[in-house]
Structure 1
Amino acid sequence: MEERILQNYINGKWVNSNSGKFREVTNPATAELLAKVPVSTLAEFDEAVQIAQKAYHSWRRVPVTNRIQYLFKLKMLLEEHFEDLARTITLEHGKVLDESRGEMRRAIENVEVACGTPSLAMGDLVEDIAPGIDEMMIRQPLGVVGLISPFNFPAMIAFWYLPYAVATGNTVVVKPSSRVPITMVKMFELMQEAGFPEGVVNLVNGGAEIVDGMLDHPLIKAVGFIGSTPVALHVYSRGAAHGKRVSAGGGAKCPCLILPDADINTTTNIMMDSAFGCSGQRCLAATVAIMIGEADKTFIPAFAEAASKRVTGYGINPDVQMGPVITMQDKVRIEGLVKQGLDEGCEMLVDGRNAVIPGYEKGYFIRPTILTDIPVNGIIHSTEIFGPVLGIMHCNTVDEAIKIVNDHTFGNAASIFTRDGTAAHKFRYEALAGNIGVNIGIAAPMAFFPFSGWKDSFFGDLHGQGKHAIEFFTQTKVVIERWPKEWTRKF
C-alpha cells in the first residue's frame, strides 16, 4: 500500500483538509508508514453537518424501499472488494487476515439486516380506538446523526449504526479513528460508487476537537460511539447535555467461568481464541478465567500449553494466529500493567513480554500472557487491559463466581463453560452482563440482535445493530384521526 494523504468525504466529493495538520497511520507489525490522516478543523466539520442537514430534507422523502436499494448496491460492492478490505484492516490494525475477514462479514451482515427496514420500521395502528377515531404510531427519522468509531474494528463498529441510520431516512457524518482511517475511507469510496445522493453520507477525519464539535453541534440529533469507559461517559454526558440521543459503549472485563465438567479441548481452543484473538484488543475478549472447584488442575496446564504454542507475527502471513497491538505506546502500557500485576502478587504462568518476531523487529508485539492467582481488587482484574493478557482466579462455587462477576463495574459480557444445564441456566439468569455466552467465548450478537452492554460498559438506552438501531435513529409520532360523517374523503 502506497503512502498517501487521506481526504474527507463531504457532499459526495473527496476534499482535502485545510488544517495543515496530520497524524501518521502506521502498520503495527512493521512500523511502516501507510498514510497521513488530516486533523480536520471545526469549520470543516460544520460544513459537513450543514451539507448533511440540507440533504436530509430530500433524503427523508425518498421512499424507504428506494433508500435500501443503495444498501443492496453497497452490499454487493463490499462482497466484490471483500479481500481487499480485509487486507487493509490487517495492514493498518494488525489483526490476522481471518479475523479481518470475520470483521468484514459482520459489517456486511448489518447492511443486510438494515435492508429489512421496511419491515423493521413499521408502526402500529388501532382502528376505531374510539367512536369514529383511528390512532396510529409511525416512526420518522431524526435528522443528521454522528458516528465515532474506535481503532479496534475499523470497519464493523461504524456499521453497527450507519446502514440503519440511512435506511431510516437520516443523513450521517462519520469520524473514524485516526489510528485506522484507511479502511473507512475505502468503504466510503464504495458508498460513493453505490450512488448515495450527495450529502447523505459524509466522513470527516480528526481528533478530540471533532468529537466535541459533534457533541455540541445543534444540528446533530444523535451520536453513536464505542470506546473506553471514560470517553464513553464523556460522550454520553456532553451529548445528553445538548439534548442528543447517545448510544455510548464503554470498556469491559469479560469473565469466563470454567467448571470441572467442561470439555477440555473445546474449552481450551475457544478460550485461546477469545483471550488472544485480535491480540486481546476487543471489548468481548475473555480477560479473566474463573476456575470453579478442581477445574484449575486440568485447565491451567492446558491453557499454558496452548498459549505457548500460539504463533505470533505479521497477520498477513497465513500461519500466524495473533498479530501485534496497535501502537508502541500500547505495548509499553500493557507490559506495564502486567508488571504491576506481578508486584501485587500475581503469578506468571506464560510470559509474552519483550517479544521479538524475526523479520519484524520494529513491530509492536506481545505474545500471549497468562497470570494466575489474580486478586479480585488487583489491577489485572479491575482494569481493561486491552491486550493479550489472560488472568486466572479460583472460586469454590458458581455462586461465589457470579458474585465476582456482578460486583465488577463492567457488564459487557460473561461466559460459562460446562455440561451442566442447571449451572448454565443459573448463570444466564443471574449474571449482570448484557451479553452472555454458554460454551461461547466471544458472546458477540449477530446483526439481528443489539450489542447489549450493561453497567459501566454502556451509557444510553438503545444499542447498535438490529431493531435497537432502527429505534435509536427514529422518533415516534402518534397520529389520531377523526372523519365526521358530514365530511367527505373525496381527495
Structure 2
Amino acid sequence: MPHWFNNACYPGTGQSRSEVTNPATGEVTAHLALADQADVDAVVAAAAAAFPAWRDTSLANRTRILFAFRELLNARSAELAAIITAEHGKVLSDALGEVSRGQEVVEFACGMPHLLKGAFSENASTQVDVHSVRQPLGVVGIISPFNFPAMVPMWFFPIAIAAGNTVVVKPSEKVPTAALWIAELWKEAGLPAGVFNVLNGDKVAVDGLLTHPDVASVSFVGSTPIARYVYETGTAHGKRVQALGGAKNHMLVLPDADLDLAADQAVNAGYGSAGERCMAISAVVAVGDIGDELVAKIKQRTIGLRTGDGTRGCDMGPLVTAAARHRVAGYIDAGEAAGAELVVDGRAVQADADGAGFFVGPTLFDHVTTEMSIYTDEIFGPVLSVLRVDSYADGVRLINANPYGNGTAIFTNDGGAARRFGNEVEVGMIGINVPVPVPMAYYSFGGWKSSLFGDSHAHGAEGVHFFTRAKVITSRWLDPSHGGLNLGFPQNT
C-alpha cells in the first residue's frame, strides 16, 4: 500500500512495512509502506511546489472544487464507510455517521469566501485607508489517529485547502486506506496535483513532519503523552501546532434526571465504536441515592447488546488490534483486583464474527473510586465505570479534579442546575442531556487542561484562524487610475 503525492500513488523508498488487519477476523488484508526520511522529503516537496499556484487560485475556483468534492463524497459515502468498518471495526452505521460528521466540515469550508473576508477602514487618516486580510500558511501537516480515519482528518483539511494551503496527511498505519481513498476523490473533484498528499508511516513520518523546515503547521489528534510530544517538538521547530489529546469524560446524573434516558445515553456514549472515542463517556457519576437503580438500568441495556462483525448489523464491533484487546482486558483485570464491582464482564464475549477477531464485550463496573486505574487512565475501550457521590457539588469537584477536560455531560430536569454546571465545570465541551457533545462544524472542537496542547481548537472560526495568518495593510493613493470599457456582466474566475 503506497503513499500519495502529485495526484498519484508513490511506492516510496523506505524498506519498512506494517500489516493492516481486519479487526473482526484478525486477517491481514494489506502491507503498508512506511516512510523513510527521503519519502518525507519527497511528499513535502510536492506540497511545497504546489503551494504558490494554489495560494493564488481564486476563492471562487477553490470553492468550486470543494463543492465538487462534497458532491462526490455524498454520492459515495457508503464506500468510505465500508473501508472504515473493514479496517477499524466499527459498525457500518457508526462509520456512516463518522463520514457525515466529517462532511459537515467540508460544507463549512465551502463558505470560505465569507470566512476570509477582512475589514476595511476608509480615511483612517486623511486619504489613508487600512484593511486586513488572512492568508494561508503554506504546507500543513495532519497526523490522524486510528479511531476516526475519515472524520478527524476532515476536521482539518477542508478548511486548510479552502484557505489556500497544501496538505500532507499522515494517517494511522492501522487504518490507511480511507486517506488514500479520499486522495483519489480529491483528484476526481479537480484538485490540482500536490495540494492533497498522503504520507504513510510511523514515528519516522511523524518526526519528519514535526521537524521539516517546509512544514508550517501540524494538527494532531491522539493520546495525551503523544500530543504533548507533538506540541513540544513542533513548536521547538517553529511550527504552529494544535494537538488534541486524551480524555476522561464524565456524565453527572442528578436525582431528578430521567433515569431511563440517562441509562440509554450512558450505554450509547460508553460503548459506541467499542469505546474508541475521545468523546466516549467512561465515567458515570451518580448523585445521591439513585446509584442502584441507575446501575440496574444500565446493566439491563448492556447485557442486551450484540457484539460482532460490523457488517452484520451488530451493536458494537471489535477493538482495532490484538494489542488493544489485550490492553483493555488488562484494565478489566485491574479493576476487579482493585475492588470495583464487576457488573457485566466483557472479557469472554461470544462475538458474531468469523475468525479470531479482537473482541472485548461491553463491560460495566460499579462502586469505582478515583484511585483505581480504570478511573485514572483513558482505557479507550468498552469499559463503563459508575462512581457515586453525595451531592451535585461533590460531582463537580470530582470532574474538575480530573487532569483531562475534553467533554462532559449532565443529566437533569433542573434548568438552574444545568446552567450552573455549564458555568462551573472546567471542561471544553459540555452536554446538557446530551452525552457526546461534539459541536457542529461552525463551532470549534477541543478540550481544556491535558486534553489540548496549543491555543486553537479544531474547525469553526478557530480552525480558520489556525490555517491562516493575519496581515494589515495601510495605503495612500494620490492618483486614480481607470480601466478600459467592458459592458459584459463581470464573472468570478
TM superposition score normalised by structure 2 = 0.96
Residue number in structure 2 paired with 1:418: 412
Letter of the 1:293 counterpart = G
Matches of residues 5-404 of structure 1 in structure 2 within 5 Å?
A: 6-318=1-313, 320-404=314-398
Which of 473, 480, 487 is matched with 1:489 structurally? 480
CA distance in 1, matches of 2:6, 2:297: 55
Say whether the 8 Å CA contact 2:13–2:38 is kept in structure 1: no
CA distance in 2 between counterparts of 1:445 and 1:452 reads 9
**Which piece of structure 1 moves more, 186-195 or 261-270?**
261-270
Distance (Å, rounded) in 1 between the aligned partners of 2:353 and 2:131: 65
Quote the Cα distance in structure 2 between the aligned partners of 1:214 and 1:120.
Answer: 28
Change (3 A) 1:359 1:488: closer
Kept in 1: contact 2:24–2:353 (CA 8 A)? no
SS at match of 1:9: strand
* Cα distance in structure 2, aligned partners of 1:350 and 1:219: 51
Letter in 2 for 1:117: M
Give identity over the alignment, percent.
40
**Per-residue CA shift, 1:409-428, capped at 9, x if unaligned?**
00000100010111111111
Offset from partner CA, 1:235-291 (integer Å, 9 cap, x none): 000001111110100000000001122112222211111000000000000000000
In 1, are the aligned partners of 2:26 and 2:355 still within 8 Å (CA)? no
In structure 1, distance between residues paired with 2:351 and 2:194:
45
What is the alpha-carbon distance in structure 2 between the residues aligned to residue 430 and residue 130 of structure 1? 45
Instruction: Work out the number of aligned pairs and report it.
Output: 482
1:139 counterpart letter in structure 2: R
Q: Which amino acid aligns with 1:488?
A: D
Counterpart of 2:487 in structure 1 is none
Q: Secondary structure at the match of 1:477?
A: strand
Q: Which is further off, 210-219 or 295-304?
A: 295-304
Q: Would you say the 8 A contact 2:309–2:353 is kept in 1?
A: no
Residue among 429, 433, 437 paired with 1:439 = 433
Counterpart CA distance in 2 for 1:57 and 1:189 is 22
Query: Matched residue of 1:348: which SS?
Result: strand
Q: Which amino acid aligns with 1:201?
A: F
Q: Please report the RMSD computed on the Cα atoms of aligned residues, expressed in angstroms.
A: 1.1
Q: CA deviation at 1:359?
A: 4.4
Q: Aligned partners of 2:351 and 2:97: how far apart in 1?
A: 25
- Distance in 2 (CA, whole Å) between partners of 1:340 and 1:30 is 27
Partner residue, 2:488: none
Equivalent residue letter for 2:466: F
Asked if 1 retains the 8 angstrom alpha-carbon contact of 2:220 and 2:244, the reply is yes
The gaps in structure 2 that reach 5 residues or longer are 483-493
Deviation at 1:375, TM superposition (A): 1.2
Residue 454 of structure 2 aligns with which residue? 460
1:361: how far off? 4.8
The superposition leaves residues 45-89 of structure 1 with CA deviations (integer Å, 9 ceiling, x where unpaired) of 111111111111111000111111111111111112111111111
